[in-house]
Amino acid sequence: MSPQIEGTIAKLLALTQRDQQRCWFNALNPSSDFLPLDDRGYVIWSGGGETLSLQQTITQPAGNYDYGGLTARLKLVWWADRARLFVDGEFKQEGDLFDSSCRLLLAEGWQPGQTVEVRLDLTSPNHDRGGLMKAQLIWENEAQPQACPHWLGEQLTILHRYLQRFCPEKLEALGSLLQPLAALDCSDRGQLEAEIIKINEGLEHVAPEIKQRTFHLLGHGHLDLAWLWPVKETWGVGEATFRSVINLQRGFPELTFGHTSPVLYQWIKHHRPPLWKTIKQAVEQGQWELLAGMWVEPDTNLVAGESLARQLLYGQRFYLEEFGQLSLVGWLPDSFGFSAQLPQLLTQAGIDYFVSGKLQWGDGKPFPHGVCWWESPDGSRVLMVQSPPNVAGVMDTDAIAMANYWLDWEGQTGLKEMIWLPGVGDHGGGPPGIWC
């Protein structure tokens, strides 16, 4: 049954969704070949503030599907200090490292045979190479978004993978639900959309228990305090990240954000008092979580034990004096390795939990535990949780990526609750508004 289901999913996704990453050429050299992609599927160019101008022509796919009247958008994700986006030569919007994704409007009411010229002017960060990570074309029925073929295709992708892993006996029921799609003529969009809506309504009856799973979302914007940029830039990036989050929380009060490094909070307190006051209010209201309890996110292998003790002493003391609370979570997402004595030091500082994603980076056998007790030689222990894998500095809210993580997490731990950390990181950033 699975091959037929997979074929139906692929057919639905292909109707109104198309990968455009391989279609870019250099706008300053229109006769050039398409730009190559690296092994991750990214367009990459040199760092140091270099600008790359990308261009491509958007057309509708071949076939008999009726795209007339639909809204065409291009979903983009970039790693650039500045992004300027143009449609048919007209400037439409801009972004940067903080605002690093969009759903660029190409056309409302698509006309048969229509073409659209898209140009991106992307400037790489001073500290890193630039990258265009995603360019996905979608056509949407904005009046009935749940009637879009790719919408159903994504729901089916998630449900199918869940059933394969946990409830294979229900695959036949899913196949039966999808049977009407096999005989439908895709040129009759109205009939297809009506059937899609009907199937969407029936999906929850195939596996109602799927609703028992819960994602806990915590906005995050990891910031390396000392890496490829001067300290002055660190303070500016930290301030910009915090301001971005505060502004988002005004429009999305349910957004919870977490950040580490009391040294950064101290700088905000001394140099940006109004912002500091707002952050303290967000902490009091439960919109902002104080993470780590360490002065910075340190290396824990090369330094002496006294250095780690002082990290915890200064960090927790600052949290207690300024916020009236200690951090309960040792949060070191990007430190390269962890001393065996760390649980002993963490527990002495009032910390019960440890979170890191760095164990996902090993080049050998994968670390086998998503959750485990981590014990020091003296018997002190903390509950260790692996955060979701994030090797590109960006963790978005793509439904299929989240579902893949959930399925692996539940399969490995048996737990039906998991954490997700939407945000742009390494050079700060936090969650962009479009994800909210």
Q: Measured between alpha carbons, how far is 225 from 435 in angstroms, rounded to an integer?
A: 25
Q: Measured between alpha carbons, how far is 308 from 315 in angstroms, rounded to an integer?
A: 11
Active site residue 334: yes
Single out the residue of 125, 11, 23 nearest to residue 74, CA to CA. Answer: 23
47 φ, ψ to 5°? -85, -165
Instruction: Judge whether 425 and 394 are in contact, CB under 8 Å.
Output: yes
Q: Measured between alpha carbons, how far is 316 from 413 in angstroms, rounded to an integer?
A: 31
Q: Measured between alpha carbons, how far is 328 from 78 in angstroms, rounded to an integer?
A: 34
Task: Look up tokens 């600008």; give the residue.
Answer: 51
Single out the residue of 323, 370, 330 nearest to residue 349, CA to CA. Answer: 330
Q: Measured between alpha carbons, how far is 52 from 59 in angstroms, rounded to an integer?
A: 23
Quote the radius of gyration of the chain (alpha carbons, Å).
24
Instruction: Judge whether 7 and 98 are in contact, CB under 8 Å.
Output: no
Q: Could you say which DSSP state residue 148 is in?
A: S
* The one catalytic residue among 99, 224, 334, 398: 334
Q: Measured between alpha carbons, how far is 414 from 408 in angstroms, rounded to an integer?
A: 10
Q: Measured between alpha carbons, how far is 337 from 350 in angstroms, rounded to an integer?
A: 21
User: And the tokens for 227?
Assistant: 């890496």
Single out the residue of 301, 296, 299 nearest to residue 312, CA to CA. Answer: 296
- Give alpha helix (H) positions in 272-393: 273-284, 305-323, 342-348
**Catalytic residue annotation:** 334
